[in-house]
Structure formats: C-alpha cells, structure tokens
Amino acid sequence: MEAEVDALEKLLDENGANYKVLTHERVFTSQQAAKIRISKR
C-alpha cells in the first residue's frame, strides 16, 4: 500500500495540489475512519 500512497503524493505534488496527509491506525470501516478524522481536528 505504501507504493500507492507514494505514487498519489507524487501526482498531487507534480500538479501543485494542496493536501494534508493524516496518519492513523489501520481501520476497516468508514465509520472507524470518521471517528479518527473527527478526533484529529
């Protein structure tokens, strides 16, 4: 999965996109991810 993330970040950088990388423990549902996103605000 790391290669895919690196490729995506490279694409965004090459095109001048603004983005923020969030890191968190592995999740398996969108609900779990949403809880993490809310807690990191």
pLDDT, one tens digit per residue, over 1-41 is 789 999 999 999 999 999 998 787 889 999 998 888 888 76
Domain residues for the domain of 27 are 2-39
Q: What is the total count of domains within the chain?
A: 1
Amino acid sitting at position 32: Q
The model's pTM:
0.58
Contact between 40 and 22 (Cβ < 8 Å):
yes
How far apart, in whole angstroms, are the C-alpha atoms of residue 38 and residue 7? Answer: 26
How far apart, in whole angstroms, are the C-alpha atoms of residue 21 and residue 2? Answer: 13
